[in-house]
Amino acid sequence: MTLFEFDNAVRESYPVVAGVDEAGRGPLAGDVFAAAVILPPDCVIEGVNDSKKLTAKKRELLFDEIILKAEAYCISTASVEEIERLNILNAAMLAMKRAIEGLGADYDIALIDGNKTPDVKGEVRAIVKGDASSQSIAAASVLAKVARDRYMQKLDEEYPEYLFAKHKGYGTRQHYEMLRKYGPSPVHRPSFLKKMH
């Protein structure tokens, strides 16, 4: 079954499907992002898949196509402060809730990537590895990932010593080296740095 066929099977019971995914749960720095997308029923976007499996260039092209074809979409975030206050899982749920509520359109069901669902009205279904099953979730995954990568590039300009544009805030060896050298920046997540040796 293709990702498009999966969504169409869901549409037999729930005509308007919103796909939802987040990006940036693992990095040591920066906000967590989420996106929600409603695609038209007849819309097939070639090459859309789990955003982690796509090249950055391919994701950028798909980002524009998804925004062009979507009936509605919204990209939202939860801040480093919210990550610290709520923990990363709850902050990711908050970002998803904001994305869904920001759609400004009615949906019959929201398909969420993962095994937990945000607290939003209406039908909600969690789908483990949803970005490899549902075209709507895969599209949301691309929007969230590209938006977050662009944001990390902006942070790279503000804090060039950490090389954020290279590792996007993830805990690479190079990133840890820069942290040891310069200490954490205001955009680092303190609770994520406790494990640092």
Domain with residue 80: its CATH number is 3.30.420.10
CA 105, CA 160: separation in Å to the nearest integer? 39
Q: Is residue 121 part of a domain?
A: yes
Q: Is residue 161 part of a domain?
A: yes
Total count of domains within the chain = 1
Closest of 16, 105, 3, 73 to residue 44, by C-alpha: 3
CA 28, CA 81: separation in Å to the nearest integer? 13
Q: Is residue 39 part of a domain?
A: yes
Q: Is residue 79 part of a domain?
A: yes
Looking at residue 179, its amino acid is L
Q: Is residue 197 part of a domain?
A: no
Q: Six-digit token pair at 30?
A: 């920066």
**C-alpha radius of gyration, the chain, whole number:** 17
Count of CB atoms situated within 10 Å of the CB of 32: 28
Give 124's strand partners: 110
CB-neighbour burial class of residue 67 (10 A; exposed 0-12, middle 13-18, buried 19+)? middle
pLDDT digit of tens for each residue in the chain (197 aa)? 899 999 999 999 999 999 999 999 999 999 999 999 999 999 999 888 766 788 989 999 999 999 999 999 999 999 999 999 999 999 999 999 999 999 999 999 999 999 999 999 999 999 999 999 999 999 999 999 999 999 999 999 999 999 999 999 999 999 999 999 999 999 999 999 987 75
CA 138, CA 50: separation in Å to the nearest integer? 5
Closest of 168, 89, 1 to residue 187, by C-alpha: 168
Q: In what order do the strands lie in the sheet with 17-23?
A: 72-78, 32-38, 17-23, 109-113, 123-127
Q: Is residue 88 part of a domain?
A: yes
| Owning domain of residue 143 | 3-192
